[in-house]
């Protein structure tokens, strides 16, 4: 994955710090998007994921800093791996203990940038799961936004609406209120998620824009408005950063302080209330990839306006969006539908109902179904595992460990494990013994024994693990040491739990 060429230089006076919000859940894109691996980390429009596209897009600007990524602590290693694949080595990672919406995220980003680079440094906040089809136009819009931010404005990016969308915020610009020589305009009002009739009126009036979910401002200017409008969020987000646990460029925000931040969007908390809001029109083929209708971005794959991916066969079917992850999907006599197949779930929905897919994801979560939380393949910092079979008192997994990596030294209370190496070489610790297991050989890990799996070789280690016992859940694990810091995280979580319940 190559870093694209830079489009325009930024001077030292225009220090712009890109901040990517990577904590969304993407429930409208179920079943591909799951809690443990949401849409921003999926490769939906090409080789790179939406997150990687967003990071590389910021690399096109000649920034004096690397990006700041704000994401869930649960996605820490996914984010780190995707940054490594994109060859981004200078990113700072702020980890949220829990989701608190975009106002606390914007607040802690502004505090971080102000402390690291000063109050005049410019913060450019953007979602990590949006698509931009025209990077050159995007860069020109950012340049105008920087000029407006230097005049003290909080700048948002507006997209001309193409349909009466009720899931977006709308901005109305003041007539003939252009800011100097920039392409920015003063905003007259900000309306979040209007009714269908009102959204249609906005389109007919022609002076409203969709809120693109991107904001650019001087860190000190935004913090001053935040302190005036939302003093509690200002204070608690700063406290969460001050009490954070730091490990190099990774900063784990303080859970107790973060929890006290009001769960609110930056749109409601600041943008609707400030009188310092400006808008830069963005005509860069933007899409928030908010539902399965995003597949309409790709050209039709046949003469019947169908758009398909994967192994799909159609007969007398028109205007469908079909995504196959592996198995053959066939449609007969079906029109205007979305069909998405994964290894463990299939979605069928009318195109005009795709916004309701999130209700299915919510029902699955309420029922504690694993299909809401994870795919059969789950990524870890050392590689991945995937469930092959699961039944009462047993589970079969395929495990892949990257060269030079190792799992934590751990123990289980309720299950024993049998490992069969099918590729590569394993170094196994079981109790007080350490030994090598090569291809076509196996070893047994009795219940309660301390053990560890390592890959000392130069090729990926692959093995089949058979678990047996009265409970085979992922939470039956006690870590004693870990290369990736998960033992210390568990201890801190336990301390926080005791403190909060004391």
- Do 139 and 57 contact (CB within 8 A), yes or no? no
pLDDT, one tens digit per residue, over 49-104 is 999 999 998 877 765 578 999 999 989 989 988 998 899 888 999 999 998 899 99
Same domain, 63 and 147: yes
pLDDT tens, position by position, for the chain (502 residues)?
Answer: 444 444 444 444 468 999 999 988 889 999 999 988 999 999 888 889 999 999 998 877 765 578 999 999 989 989 988 998 899 888 999 999 998 899 999 999 999 999 999 999 999 999 999 999 898 899 889 989 999 999 999 999 999 888 887 777 888 888 776 676 678 888 888 887 888 888 888 888 888 898 888 999 999 999 999 999 999 999 999 999 999 999 888 999 999 999 999 999 998 899 888 888 999 999 998 888 888 888 887 889 999 999 999 999 999 999 999 999 989 999 999 999 999 999 899 999 999 899 899 999 999 999 999 899 888 888 888 999 999 998 999 999 999 999 999 999 999 999 999 999 999 999 999 999 999 999 999 999 999 999 999 999 999 999 999 999 999 988 899 999 988 876 655 445 444 433 443 3
101: alpha, beta or left? (left if phi > 0; alpha if psi -120 to 50): left
Whether 8 is in a domain gets the answer no
CATH number where 420 lies: 2.60.120.10
CA distances from 58 to 68, 116, 245, 343 (A): 11, 19, 27, 34
Same domain, 344 and 283: no
Whether 40 is in a domain gets the answer yes
Whether 431 is in a domain gets the answer yes
Name the domain boundary from 357, 387, 412: 357
- SS3 category, 423: strand
The pLDDT score that the predictor gives to residue 18 is 93
Whether 369 is in a domain gets the answer no
- SS3 category, 328: coil
> Around Cβ 448, how many Cβ atoms within 10 Å?
13
Q: How far apart are the C-alpha atoms of 284 and 139, rounded to whole Å?
A: 9
How many structural domains comprise the chain?
3
Whether 9 is in a domain gets the answer no
Q: Which of 294, 351, 358 is nearest to 320 (CA)?
A: 351
Q: Which of 8, 457, 500, 459 is nearest to 256 (CA)?
A: 500
Any alpha helices (H) in 230-374, and if so which ranges? Answer: 231-242, 255-259, 266, 357-366, 370-373
The pLDDT score that the predictor gives to residue 502 is 35
Same domain, 34 and 182: yes
Same domain, 493 and 387: yes
The pLDDT score that the predictor gives to residue 327 is 93
Whether 110 is in a domain gets the answer yes
Whether 339 is in a domain gets the answer yes
Same domain, 216 and 325: no
Same domain, 42 and 154: yes
The pLDDT score that the predictor gives to residue 7 is 42
φ, ψ dihedrals at 364, nearest 5°: -65, -40
Name the domain boundary from 244, 272, 287: 287
Same domain, 351 and 473: no
Any alpha helices (H) in 243-310, and if so which ranges? Answer: 255-259, 266
Same domain, 449 and 426: yes
Residue showing tokens 């994964």: 342
Same domain, 249 and 327: no
- pTM for the full predicted model: 0.83
Name the domain boundary from 242, 258, 287: 287
Same domain, 328 and 455: no
Same domain, 200 and 276: yes
Same domain, 261 and 387: no
> Around Cβ 110, how many Cβ atoms within 10 Å?
29
Q: Domain containing 203: what range?
A: 14-287
The pLDDT score that the predictor gives to residue 184 is 86
Whether 101 is in a domain gets the answer yes
């Amino acid at each position: 994955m190559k870093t694209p060429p830079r489009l325009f230089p930024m001077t030292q006076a225009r220090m712009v710090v890109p901040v990517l919000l990577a904590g969304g859940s993407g429930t409208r894109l179920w079943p591909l998007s799951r809690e443990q691996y949401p849409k921003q980390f999926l490769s939906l429009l090409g080789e790179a994921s939406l997150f990687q596209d967003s990071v590389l897009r910021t690399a096109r600007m000649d920034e004096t800093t690397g990006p700041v990524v704000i994401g869930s602590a649960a996605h820490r290693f996914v984010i780190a791996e995707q940054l490594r694949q994109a060859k981004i080595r200078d990113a700072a990672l702020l980890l949220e203990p829990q989701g608190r919406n975009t106002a606390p995220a914007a607040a802690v980003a502004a505090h971080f940038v102000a402390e690291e680079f000063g109050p005049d440094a410019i913060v450019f906040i953007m979602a990590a799961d949006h698509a931009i089809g025209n990077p050159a136009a995007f860069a020109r819009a950012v340049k105008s936004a920087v000029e407006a931010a230097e005049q003290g404005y909080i700048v948002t990016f507006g997209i001309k609406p193409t349909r009466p969308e009720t899931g977006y915020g709308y901005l109305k610009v003041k007539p003939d209120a252009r800011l100097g020589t920039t392409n920015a305009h003063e905003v007259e009002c900000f309306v979040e998620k209007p009714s269908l009739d009102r959204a249609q009126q906005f389109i007919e009036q022609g002076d409203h824009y969709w809120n693109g979910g991107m904001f650019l401002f001087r860190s000190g200017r935004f913090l001053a408005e935040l302190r005036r409008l939302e003093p509690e969020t200002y204070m608690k987000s700063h406290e969460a950063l001050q009490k954070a646990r730091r490990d190099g460029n990774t900063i784990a925000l303080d859970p107790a302080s973060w929890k006290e931040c009001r769960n609110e969007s930056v749109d409601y908390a600041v943008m609707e209330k400030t009188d310092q809001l400006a808008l830069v029109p963005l005509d860069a083929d933007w899409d928030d990839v908010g539902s399965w209708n995003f597949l309409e971005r790709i050209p039709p794959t046949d003469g019947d306006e169908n758009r398909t991916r994967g192994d799909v066969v159609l007969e007398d079917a028109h205007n469908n969006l079909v995504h196959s992850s592996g198995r053959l999907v066939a449609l007969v006599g079906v029109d205007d539908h979305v069909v998405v197949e994964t290894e463990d779930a299939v979605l069928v929905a009318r195109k005009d109902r795709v916004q309701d897919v999130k209700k299915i994801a919510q029902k699955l979560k309420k029922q504690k179904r694993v299909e809401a939380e994870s795919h059969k393949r789950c990524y870890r910092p050392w590689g991945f595992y995937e469930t092959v079979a699961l039944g009462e008192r047993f589970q079969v997994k395929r495990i892949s460990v990257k060269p030079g990596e190792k799992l934590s030294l751990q123990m289980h209370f309720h299950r024993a494990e049998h490992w069969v190496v099918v590729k590569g070489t394993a170094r196994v610790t079981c109790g007080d013994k350490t030994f090598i297991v090569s291809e076509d050989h196996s070893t047994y890990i009795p219940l309660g024994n301390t053990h560890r799996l390592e890959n000392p070789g130069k090729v990926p280690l692959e093995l089949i693990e058979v678990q047996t016992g009265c409970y085979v859940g992922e939470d039956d694990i006690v870590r004693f040491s870990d290369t990736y810091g998960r033992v210390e995280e568990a201890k801190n979580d336990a301390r926080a739990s005791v403190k909060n319940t004391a």
